């Protein structure tokens, strides 16, 4: 494993194959859900996991991928607000409110998707969405009159 440039290395497979960049080092990005796996698996084990014949998860109670994604965005919002209040970032309150609005739109969309889940999955998913909505309100309350008062 090594650090990799997203723009250059994730496109490396295509640019190498088509002769665009002969020194490209193709890379694979595992994503944030890698924390739910701890062992090196064979191809056969990975395929069995994908098709539900085997579980390679170390945390069976892991959050749904949409919940995890939203959590990452809430953390990002909190960090950006902190940087802005420290004077390290030049963003307006309006841009933070727009970001918050987009997060709330995503929550609303995901609430509709929850209708496709089984009863128990749906309850947990909706509880976690509600908790994220509340967290967003704590991080950036309405209205955000000043960035410094919105930082927790």
Domain count, the chain: 3
Give the number of other Cβ atoms within 10 Å of residue 15's Cβ: 16
Residue 85 and residue 12 in one domain? no
Q: Could you tell me if 75 and 134 lie in one domain?
A: yes
pLDDT at site 143: 64
- Segment 31-49 shows an average pLDDT of 85
How many beta carbons lie within 10 A of that of residue 40, not counting itself? 6
Domain boundary (59, 74, 109) is at 59
pLDDT tens per residue across span 113-142: 999 888 888 999 999 999 999 999 999 887
Give residue-wise pLDDT tens across range 79-111: 999 998 888 878 888 899 999 999 999 999 999
Q: What is the pLDDT, as a whole number, of residue 149?
A: 35
Compute how many other C-beta atoms are within 10 angstroms of the C-beta atom of residue 110: 19
**How far is the C-alpha of 48 from the C-alpha of 50, rounded, in Å?**
5
Which are the contacts of 78, defined by CB distance < 8 A and separation ≥ 6?
139, 151, 152
State what percent of residues in the chain have pLDDT above 90: 36
The per-type count for the chain, helices as H runs and strands as E runs, is 7, 0
Domain that holds residue 116: 65-150
Selection from 26-30, 48-52, 147-151 with the highest mean pLDDT: 48-52
Measured distance CA(83)–CA(95) in Å, rounded: 14
Answer yes or no: do 40 and 23 share one domain. Answer: no
Residues 16 and 51 in one domain: no
Residue pair 97/137 in contact (Cβ under 8 Å)? The answer is no
For residues 11 and 72, state if they share a domain: no
């Amino acid at each position: 494993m090594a650090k990799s440039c997203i723009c250059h290395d994730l496109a490396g497979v295509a640019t190498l194959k088509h002769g665009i960049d002969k020194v490209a080092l193709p890379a694979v990005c595992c994503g944030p859900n890698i924390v739910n796996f701890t062992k090196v698996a064979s191809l056969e084990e990975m395929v069995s996991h994908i098709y539900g014949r085997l579980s390679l998860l170390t945390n069976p109670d892991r959050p749904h991928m949409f919940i995890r994604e939203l959590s990452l965005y809430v953390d990002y919002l909190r960090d950006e607000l902190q940087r802005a209040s420290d004077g390290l970032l030049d963003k307006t309150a309006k841009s933070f409110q727009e970001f918050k609005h987009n997060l709330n739109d995503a929550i609303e969309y995901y609430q509709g998707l929850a209708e496709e889940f089984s009863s128990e999955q749906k309850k947990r998913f909706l509880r976690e969405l509600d908790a994220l909505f509340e967290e967003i309100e704590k991080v950036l309350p309405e209205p955000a009159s000043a960035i410094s008062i919105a930082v927790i």
